[in-house]
Amino acid sequence: MTANKPLLYGLVAIVGLVAPFVFPAYVAQFAFAWLFILFALTWDAQGGQMGYNSFGNILYFGVGMYVCIVVMVGYSYNVAEYTAPGGEKAFTFSTHQYIIGLALGTIAGGIASAILAIILGSGILGLRGHYFAIGTLGLGIAAGELAAGWDFIGAGSGVAAPVFPDAMGSRSLFFYFVFFAITVIAFFAYKWLYRGRFGLAINAIRDDEDKAEAMGLPTTHYKTMSWMVSAFFLGLVGGPVGLLIGFIDPRDTAFAGVTFGVWMVLMAILGGKGTIWGPVVGAIVFLIFKEVFWIYLLQWQQVALGALIVVIVVFFPQGIMGFLREQWPERFGHRVEETPLNDMNVRGEGEA
């Protein structure tokens, strides 16, 4: 399988580059597919690889989104005027303003989220188990409530994202490639991180944090670093998502704990926690489920999603990759020679 690897990557790259042109009607869905893969990957860095089940990673997504919009608007106009409710003045962005603003805003969003993760990390990551899960859940919702009360960024009525300049062609297509690029970078960044000392360290924390600490591993340092990397990528992608959707509501778009926040957990579990390909597979399968629910189950789609969460978690907690690994362990042991998946397998066999 190792020999097939360039083939696999090549195939994914070709599909990624060609798909939006072959099926132009589904560009927005494809864009969300890459976004969801990124969500699942960043969540899995804590939930799967480190054993810290965060329900609040959406916090960094929302922070990135708001920072990006504020920077982008601030580059060309006065932010307070822009977010003022019922403003008569029309704000138009030229291609130049849009591109430069977007680039600055996206990077600022990523960096702001990463810094926030470092600040929060040392406190929040000291919590474990139940407390970490509920604590992060509270953090995510608190951010939404704060954003909903802050007039500078539009408060509860939200803020409309800058309008995409007509001169730049299709909005969906543009953001498709933005998400595609960020997700591919994130995938290889994680692959590289998991392969080295970092991957071993966070896996050690997952397996037994007390022992890892007793062995002299600076656990807080690694935990914060893992959170920081996830926060960076989530912050990076936040702004473009806000611009693609076009309107930023503090509770339903930016800090959307009940939708994106839960979906990222679900996708990682569906694909298989603690594997690099699991989140990718899980995100795609989940997106298909979601689209089918949205098309065929008028009004009932969220109910069906809730039921899906329960079914997956209760009956299928090992996920798709976990299931495949149980069925054909020898193929997996062979296939993932150079990824941390292999480490887990070897360790599992060693213990048995």
Partner 1 sequence: MDNLLLLFQAPPLALQVLIDGLLVGAILAMPAYGMALVWGVMNIINVTQGEFVLLGGFITYILFTTTGISPIWGIPVSFVALYVIGWVIYKIVIFRIVDRDLFISILATFGISIMLQQLMNVFFGADIQTADPGLESWGFMDDMIIVAPIRLIAFAMVFVLGGILVMFMRQSRMGRAIRATSQNARAARIMGVDTDKVYATTYALNAAICGAAGALVVMTSVIGPFLGIIYTVRSFLIVVVAGLGNLGAVVVSALGLGALENYAGFILGAEFQVAFVYILMVVILIYRSLMLRRQRRYLT
Q: Closer CB to partner 1, residue 2 or residue 122?
A: 122
CA 154 to chain centre: 25
Q: CB 280: neighbour CB atoms within 10 A? A: 24
Q: Closer CB to partner 1, residue 22 or residue 314?
A: 314
- Among positions 123, 166, 167, 295, the unique one binding partner 1 when judged by CB under 8 A: 123
- Among positions 313, 326, 337, 349, the unique one binding partner 1 when judged by CB under 8 A: 313
Of the candidates 15, 12, 13, 37, the one whose C-alpha atom is nearest the C-alpha of residue 26 is 15
Rounded to whole angstroms, the Cα distance separating 66 from 147 reads: 9
Q: CB 290: neighbour CB atoms within 10 A? A: 21
- Among positions 10, 85, 87, 129, the unique one binding partner 1 when judged by CB under 8 A: 129
Q: Closer CB to partner 1, residue 306 or residue 348?
A: 306
- Among positions 18, 80, 146, 346, the unique one binding partner 1 when judged by CB under 8 A: 146
Q: Closer CB to partner 1, residue 237 or residue 287?
A: 287
CB contact at 8 A, 318 and 272: yes
- Among positions 295, 299, 330, 352, the unique one binding partner 1 when judged by CB under 8 A: 299
Both tokens assigned to 189? 């960044």
Q: Closer CB to partner 1, residue 89 or residue 130?
A: 130
* Least CB distance to partner 1 at residue 269 (A): 8
Tell me the window of 3-11, 66-74, 95-103, 129-137 that interacts with partner 1 (CB under 8 A). 129-137
* Least CB distance to partner 1 at residue 293 (A): 11
* Least CB distance to partner 1 at residue 43 (A): 12
- Among positions 31, 40, 116, 139, the unique one binding partner 1 when judged by CB under 8 A: 139
Q: On the CB side of 145, how many CA atoms lie within 13 Å of its CA?
A: 6
CB contact at 8 A, 303 and 315: no
CA distances from 62 to 102, 139, 142 (A): 16, 12, 12
DSSP codes, 93-118: --HHHHHHHHHHHHHHHHHHHHHHHH
CB contact at 8 A, 227 and 219: no
- Among positions 237, 243, 256, 269, the unique one binding partner 1 when judged by CB under 8 A: 269
- Among positions 128, 331, 334, 347, the unique one binding partner 1 when judged by CB under 8 A: 128
Q: Closer CB to partner 1, residue 6 or residue 216?
A: 216
CB contact at 8 A, 123 and 218: no
Please give the DSSP secondary-structure letter assigned to residue 86.
T
Q: Is residue 305 involved in binding partner 1 (CB under 8 A)?
A: yes
Alpha-carbon Rg for the chain in angstroms: 20
* Contacting partner 1 within 183-242 (CB under 8 A): none
Segment holding 343, helix H or strand E: helix 340-351
- Among positions 10, 149, 218, 348, the unique one binding partner 1 when judged by CB under 8 A: 149
Tell me the window of 195-203, 279-287, 288-296, 302-310 that interacts with partner 1 (CB under 8 A). 302-310
Rounded to whole angstroms, the Cα distance separating 174 from 244 reads: 9
Q: CB 32: neighbour CB atoms within 10 A? A: 22
> For binding to partner 1 (CB under 8 A), which residues are involved?
53, 55, 123-124, 126-131, 133-135, 137-139, 141-142, 145-146, 148-149, 155-156, 258, 262, 265, 269, 299-300, 302-303, 305-310, 313-314, 317
